[in-house]
Amino acid sequence: MQTDLRGRDLITTQEWTLEELETVFDVAWDLKRRRALGEPHALLRDKVLAMLFFFTSTRTRTSFEAGMAQLGGHAMFIDSETTQIAHGDTAKEIGEIVGRYADGIAIRQCDWNFGNKYIREVAKYSRVPVLNMQCDVYHPFQVLADAMTLMERFGRNLKGRKIAVSWAYAASYQKPISVPQSLILLMTRLGMNVALAHPPEYKLMPEIIAQAQENARKSGGSLEITHDMDEAFKDADAVYPKSWGALLTTTDNAESARIGKQYTDWICDARRMALAKEHAIYMHCLPADRGLEVTDEVIDGPQSAVYDEAENRLHVQKAVMALTMRS
């Protein structure tokens, strides 16, 4: 077990070893158990987390803020409307200055072809750990919570289990590709058989696909890519259908909306759920576009794991904060 993770950034799970990720899960379950028993666990007393949000959030903000309070510390909410982080303050200045005030810096910056670079620039100049609360490329805490949820349902060893990571239609804005990319990276590392389904225009980054293929080769898992949602769902243990933008095809919102309208039948409904295994779970990071990405019947039905995924955000984030931000 890896026990010294002090000072480490978490920008993508890909940069942490499997042993380090196993430590995160161990600590997350311990903190979940302690919270269930009402046991105090003020592991970060007097510590401060600065949370910089360039984009809106519900789960990420509330779970990080609640998590820091439960660990005995404080979380500062810094948004781009009421501060100067989106104009004037450079990434270097944020790293240098906020890193002197706080014990950790968490950032959500999802601008396409910018967010990840920004977070890495802050990390370069910060003396404290930098945590990625979602960028244009990765959403590491979401998929750690998803993996924890899968392990709770299917056991700690996920090798050989099949997960369908599928694009689904939504009328709203071009959502980041960070969730499907992080999913295929982590689940292949854990030895899962990943079926990635999307219409041709909704490709993920080629370098991420290559890394996921290499992960699968090393773990004994697999990565299959299809343009058929039904095919991906067949015999899956878990399905994760969600919308993302055609960002590698176009950055024009009107063009993206036109492309998306061809695929309104890419919805997760009861017929498609029946293609998966009987015990299959429905997963989504939320918020979901109900009636477009998924029917109410599925997301509110007995196979839905969405509330457990959302809860587990709290536990994995507390684990990473406790491990990286402690004295």
**If you ran DSSP here, which 8-state letter would residue 201 be given?**
G
Smallest separation (angstroms) from ligand CP to the CB of 55: 8
Cross-strand bridge partners of residue 75: 49
Q: Binding of ligand CP at residue 83 (CB under 6 A)? A: no
d(CA 226, CA 163): 13
Shortest Å, Cβ 262 to ligand CP: 26
Q: Which stretch binds ligand CP (CB under 6 A): 36-44, 53-61, 260-268, 288-296?
A: 53-61
**Matching residue, tokens 């890896």:** 2
- Helices 306-325 & 140-154 angle (0-180, nearest 10): 120
Tell me if 257 contacts ligand CP by CB under 6 A: no
> In the complex with ligand CP, which residue's Cβ is closer, 142 or 256?
142
What whole-number distance in Å separates Cα of residue 101 and Cα of residue 274?
52
Residue number with CB closer to ligand CP (2 or 57): 57
Residue 47 lies near ligand CP (rule: CB under 6 A):
no
CB closer to ligand CP, 59 vs 272: 59
Task: Give the integer Cα–Cα distance in Å for 174 and 89.
Answer: 27
Nearer to ligand CP, 256 or 317 (CB): 317
* Site map (CB under 6 A) of ligand CP, residues 190-229, x = contact: ----------------------------------------
CB 153 within 8 A of CB 161: no
Partners of residue 281 on adjacent β-strands: 238
Closest CB 56 distance from ligand CP, rounded Å: 7
Within positions 130 to 189, which residues make up the interface with ligand CP, using CB under 6 A? 134, 142
Q: Which of 285, 305, 314, 316 binds ligand CP (CB under 6 A)?
A: 285
Q: Which is nearer to ligand CP, 61 or 221 (CB)?
A: 61
Angle in degrees, CA 217, 220, 226, rounded to 5: 70
Which CB, 86 or 270, lies closer to ligand CP? 86
Q: What is the dihedral of CA 86, 87, 90, 94, to 10 degrees?
A: -50
Comparing CB distances to ligand CP, the nearer of 43 and 284 is 284
Question: Minimal CA–CA distance to 60: which of 317, 297, 323?
Answer: 317
Q: Does 312 bind ligand CP (CB under 6 A)?
A: no
Of 17, 58, 157, 251, the one binding ligand CP (CB under 6 A) is 58
Residues 19 and 323 sit within 8 Å (Cβ to Cβ):
no
Residue 275 is a binding residue for ligand CP (CB under 6 A): no
DSSP-based three-state secondary structure for 108: strand
DSSP state of 304: B
**Footprint of ligand CP (CB under 6 A):** 57-60, 134, 142, 285-286
